[in-house]
Amino acid sequence: MTLPRTPSFRLNGRRALVTGAGRGIGLAAAAALAEAGAQVTLVARTGSEIEQAAAAIGALADGAVLDVANTPAVAAFFDARPAFDILVNNAGTNRPMQVWDVTEADYDAVLDLNVKAAFFVAQGAAKAMLRDGVKGSLIHMGSQMGHVGGPRRSLYCASKWAIEGLNKALALDLAPHGIRSNTIAPTFIETPLTRPYFEDPAFLDTVLARIKLGRLGQVEDLMGAVLFLASDAAALITGTSLVVDGGWTAD
């Protein structure tokens, strides 16, 4: 009897790009991909931070300074390099506030980075894949707030619901070319960006009451999801969202 073989989670010989990779979720994603054998390019706006992150990962990592909100710079970045096999479209921001307090500047800050920049990074990566004949994987960092609503999260929810719709459209456009597109939708993950929020005991209690597994997410909770969607183990998965929320959206 010939048994089926589990598809490999190894990424040897593949090239990956991670945006917003200087710390937090982006750094964890880059580390996971490198551990699986991919050559990973980490990008962020701050040169010193990205250099330290790449050095910490080691020989399979290099850093590049790139402001993903600068659309011409993003296009030039992809034009100047061979196509990546894997994109982790991670750069993002949040400005929690009541909807009546949102200004146009707040709107632009969140939507321009979380949606516009994410769109053109995905477009750049996909165009390079098409140019070079690469069949790859686009992974967009969404949120549970792209599946539900949340108080004081009007801007963030708008941006992450947009990413879910974009993801499905990308999957349809790119499937004939062997390029997959998926999102990861985490719950609250403890990172340098989010840690100050949890200093409010009332807010922390509210969050923990909704996460059925009873704890905040850690970046390590997302590393397996990134690796899975990047690998051959997810070869038939496209246009979907891998929700890593400890049960938040289950009820």
Report the C-alpha gap between 138 and 180 in whole angstroms.
6
Closest among 153, 238, 251 to 203, alpha carbons compared: 153
Report the C-alpha gap between 154 and 158 in whole angstroms.
6
Residue with the two structure tokens 């909770």: 221
| Sheet order of strands, 137-141 included | 61-65, 39-44, 15-19, 86-89, 137-141, 180-186, 241-244
Burial class (CB in 10 A: 0-12, 13-18, 19+), 6: exposed
Report the C-alpha gap between 251 and 245 in whole angstroms.
12
Active site residue 156: yes
140 forms beta bridges with 89, 183
Q: The tokens of 56 are what?
A: 């910490």
Which one from 156, 161, 188, 248 is the annotated catalytic residue? 156
Q: 100: Cβ–Cβ under 8 A, 6 or more apart, which residues? A: none
Q: The tokens of 167 are what?
A: 């993801």
Q: Which residues are catalytic?
A: 156
